[in-house]
Amino acid sequence: MVAARKSAVSRLNGNRQLQNSSPATVNPGVIPLHVPRHQQGYAQTTPVMSTPQAPPLWLWRLCILQRNSSILTFFLVGAALIVYGGTVYYQELWSHAYRKLQTLQRHERQLTTTNEVIKNQMALQAERPGTGLVPQNPAAAIFLRPTPDSSRKTSGESRSATNPLNLQIQQPNHTPLGY
């Protein structure tokens, strides 16, 4: 509150000073007589408008540097946060995946165990008389005679077909497919 009031007053006085100081600059030897004494101290501290001129180059560069570095800092902080978040997140993901892997390995183990135990039990049951199951026997098997190797024949023909010399010698087979 105090500061606000102060600055308000100083501004008021400043404006007055601007009006008053113009004759002084014109005639430096003349000191205005009618300035109240208690106002003299203020007159000296009143702010003065600087003349509009270009700031020095170094300041200009510093300003640019400051602005750019602020932007850079902003992005770097952002990136750091993202990277940090990423590490935490991926650790969490890894730990989740690891847990899943353990569960799956365990299921695989249990599945294999159960599967093999059941297989063994079934085989043991099958050995017991009265189950109606008999051991494999060639008498109960069906043997198929291998068909004459037609693929070799056709491949031979196709090979000969590519060779124009053999084409004349070999008789083409005119048996239609499917009959």
Partner 1 sequence: MQKSQGRTKIKSFAQASVKRQPQSPTAKPPKLFSPPKLETANNTRLFLVWAALMTAACGLAINLYHLQIVRAPTLQSKARQQQMVSMRPFVPRRPVVDRNNNVLAMERPVYVLFAHPKLFKKPAATIAEQLAPILDRQVDDLLKQFQRRKSGIQIAGGLPEQIADRIAPLRIDGLELIQQYSRFYPQQDLVADVVGYVNVDRRGQAGVEFSQEKILERSVQAVRLSRSGTGSLMPDHAPEGFLHFDDLRLELTIDIRLQRAARFALAQQIQKFRGKRGAVIVMDASNGALLALVSQPSYNPNEYYKADMSLFRNWAIADLYEPGSTFKPLNVAIALEAGAITPDTTFYDGGSIQVAGWPIRNAHNSSFGRMTITEILKHSSNVAMVQMMQRLKPNVYYGWLERMGLGQTMDTDLPFEAPSKVKSQEEFISSPIEPATAAFGQGLALTPLQLVELHAALANGGKLVTPHVVRGLVNTKGQLHWQPTRNTPRQIFSPSTAQTVVKMMEAVVTDGTGKASQIPGYRIAGKTGTSQKAGPRGGYLANAKITSFVGMIPAENPRYVVLAIVDEPQGQAFGSTVAAPIVKSVMESLISVEQIPPSHPEEVGKQKQDKEN
Residues interacting with partner 1, by CB under 8 A? 1-9, 11, 41, 44-50, 91-92, 94-96, 98-99, 101-102, 105-106, 109-110, 112-113, 116-117, 119-120, 123, 127, 135-141, 143, 145
Closest CB 125 distance from partner 1, rounded Å: 12
Coil, helix or strand at residue 142: coil
Q: How far is the CB of 40 from partner 1 (least distance, A)?
A: 10
Which CB sits closer to partner 1, 27 or 50? Answer: 50
Q: How far is the CB of 80 from partner 1 (least distance, A)?
A: 18
Using the minimum distance from each CB to partner 1, give the nearer residue, 25 or 158.
25
- Phi, psi (deg, nearest 5) at residue 121: -65, -40
Using CA atoms, how far residue 16 sits from 7, 35, 43, 128, in Å, is 14, 12, 9, 123
Residue 70 or 105 having the CB closest to partner 1: 105
What's the Cα-to-Cα distance from 127 to each of 44, 52, 54, 104, 117, rounded to whole Å?
A: 120, 111, 107, 35, 16
The least CB distance from residue 2 to partner 1, in Å, is 6
Are 32 and 23 in contact by the 8 Å Cβ rule? The answer is yes
Of residues 6 and 159, the one with the C-beta less far from partner 1: 6
Say if residues 5 and 34 touch (Cβ distance below 8 Å): no
